[in-house]
Structure 1
């Protein structure tokens, strides 16, 4: 069932404290932690504590939780001192877009020039 923790989900296990992560922020509805394979000097993931496979399904089922993820992404940027220099918030949706963990999550990237398009 959407929203319920999934036994085979890495991010649900991180939320449950069954798998360690370097947590940088936590609220009642979100968890923010450092990416284990950073793609920029600052690379933090912000996830809803409830399980949804991607950003679209999160927004459809729990719009407030989706807003919470975005709010926390902005606060991560402030905490990490990248808000003024610029940062990117990325939601990958589907394996073709590079999503490897099917639990909605935002990548907060910054600390270097981020040209568009990426690659």
Structure 2
């Protein structure tokens, strides 16, 4: 970790939870991740899957950790569906960056059980994009993929 990352990790509530230095209602943990109940849930059962190693966003995670976080998120969604919480749906959501609504700057995956009439909505005003613009967007992403070393 860099000096700035080390400093951030020392002040990070999710790092403290992962190290068992802060209180949390833990659902699952292994050597790579910890899953715990969100302190400010949007619905009952809302939980977070967090890598133990401090990473601010998606680009700060190595592929193996990223894959494991998503795999555990899948397991948590399955467990919520089978639990007595009787949810009717699941949202799995990543907020990566302040403009994407990230408020705790330690990577975390939200697993949100959904219930009819729960009051939480995700509404965006969308507009169909022209094919030429979609093709241009696709090419920009392809170019970035080609230039990214793996």
TM-score bin, normalised by smaller chain: 0.7 to 0.9
- Give the alignment partner of residue 91 of structure 2, picking from 58, 82, 88: 88
**Equivalent position of 1:39 in the other structure:** 42
**Equivalent position of 1:99 in the other structure:** 102
Alignment map for 1:55-70 (pairs within 5 Å): 55-58=58-61, 62-70=62-70
Supply the RMSD in Å over aligned alpha carbons: 2.4
1:117 paired with 2:94, answer: no
Bigger relative contact order, structure 1 or 2 (CA pairs below 8 A, ≥6 apart)? 1
TM-superposed deviation, 1:42: 2.3
**Equivalent position of 1:71 in the other structure:** 71
- Give the alignment partner of residue 25 of structure 1, picking from 24, 28, 41: 28
Number of aligned residue pairs: give it.
115
Question: Can you list the C-alpha shifts for 1:1-53, whole angstroms capped at 9, x where unaligned?
Answer: 16868111110010111101000011110100000000022210001111110
CA separation in 2, counterparts of 1:115 and 1:7? 34
Larger Rg: 2
TM-superposed deviation, 1:115: 5.4
Q: TM-score, normalised by structure 2?
A: 0.68
CA separation in 1, counterparts of 2:10 and 2:109? 21
Show structure 2 runs of 5+ residues with no match.
Answer: 125-150
- Greater helix fraction, Structure 1 or Structure 2: 2
